[in-house]
Structures are given as C-alpha cells and as structure tokens.
Amino acid sequence: MGNKLITFTDQQLINYQDCTFFTRKEILRVYKKFRDIKPDVVPRAMKKNEAYSIKLPVEDMDELQEFRENPFKRRIFEVFSRDGKGNLTFEDFLDMLSVFSEAAPRDIKVFYAFRIYDFDNDDFVGPEDIDIAITLLTKQELTIEERHQIIEKVIEESDVDGDGKLSYIEFEHCITRAPDFLSTFHIRI
C-alpha cells in the first residue's frame, strides 16, 4: 500500500502534456522506452533537472527498433538533440516522438521534415542536401549521373523563385503534395 514509485510529479506531467501531443499515459510509456535504452544511467524517478540533463549517446539511439531501418535516423537525432550531435535527453526524446506521433499536426511535421532535409543547416534544401537524401534513401546504389538527374528534376519542379534551392515555403508546397507524407512521417509508440 502506498509503495508506488512516482516517475514525474503531477505538475511535470501536466507541463509535458501542454508541450507535446501525448497523454499522461503516453508520456510515461515514452519514458519507459527511454529508460529501457540505458537503465543503469536513467533513474526510475526524474528529479530536478534530470529530464533535460541526463543524455543518452547517439550510438545508443541507433538500436531503437522504431529507427533501426530508417536511413535518416542519425540526422533525426541531430535535429532533435539540444547538443546538435544526436545525444538525447528525455525531453529531446519526448519532443522527437511527439512530432512523429499521429496526433502531431501536418505543419509541425513539415517544419521538422524541412529541418531534417536541410543537412547543412542553411535554411534551404539545396542540391547538396537533396544529394545526401538520395544517397541515404538508395543506399548509394545510383550513379552520380542518376542522382544529378533526380536533383535537377526536384529543383525544376519545386523551385518557384528559380534560385536553385528550396526555401521552406517551396519545400512545404512540394512535400504536402506527396500523398504518403503523413503516413510515413509517423512512429507509433
């Protein structure tokens, strides 16, 4: 009786609900998944600033079942990590899974898809970014000429202002026309 371990305070859970697209139960499920990655490092109950100070290395994230086959996994971890290197705190992990949840709105998903595709972080998806994405998606099975043809076609069809790269607005217009975008930018927890 009364021997229940409290992972988060009620106020912490309310705050996490306000900042994510998860219910209390889902937040606790995400925490269990995070703790299971490295139970010797992540405590059963988060105290003070541990939810945003304890980091798990990117190498440990690679083994997550939900990301194991995802060619963009390293880039995804980098985008959601506070350190930009892919090492995730619980709050980074929670934010990442929240964006990939079914409840996250399309515009949030598009924003993060743009950040993921913007490999050089210059606020554009340029030919180099598209080349990296193609290489990851095809596991380097295309020739340089084939990749260049795809890059030219993407730029030709999506670059409205003719500057040779995609702004966020151009990317958004392009990606929202993809019929399977919402179903593929999704992870079930």
Q: What is the pTM of this model?
A: 0.92
Residue 189 in any domain: the answer is: no
For the chain, how many structural domains are there in total?
2
Query: Does residue 14 share a domain with residue 94?
Result: yes
CATH number at residue 171: 1.10.238.10
Query: Does residue 94 share a domain with residue 116?
Result: no
Query: Does residue 118 share a domain with residue 85?
Result: no
Instruction: Please check the confidence at residue 153 and state whether its pLDDT lies above 80.
Output: yes
Instruction: Please check the confidence at residue 95 and state whether its pLDDT lies above 50.
Output: yes
Of residues 136, 101, 106, the one with CA closest to residue 22: 101
CB 42 within 8 A of CB 90: yes
Helix or strand holding residue 89 (H, E): strand 88-89
Strand, coil or helix: 10: helix
Residue 122 CA: distances (Å) to CA of 61, 104, 115, 128, 167: 26, 25, 10, 11, 10
Instruction: Please check the confidence at residue 2 and state whether its pLDDT lies above 50.
Output: no
Residue 64 in any domain: the answer is: yes
Give the mean model confidence (pLDDT) for residues 127-155. Answer: 96
**Helices 168-176/106-117 angle, 10° precision:** 120
pLDDT, position 6: 75
Tokens describing residue 73 = 């996994």
CB 2 within 8 A of CB 36: no
User: What percent of the residues of the chain are helix, what percent strand, and what percent coil, each to the nearest 5?
Assistant: 55, 5, 45
Domain coverage including residue 144? 106-184
Residue-wise pLDDT tens digits, 47-76: 878 899 999 999 999 889 999 899 999 999
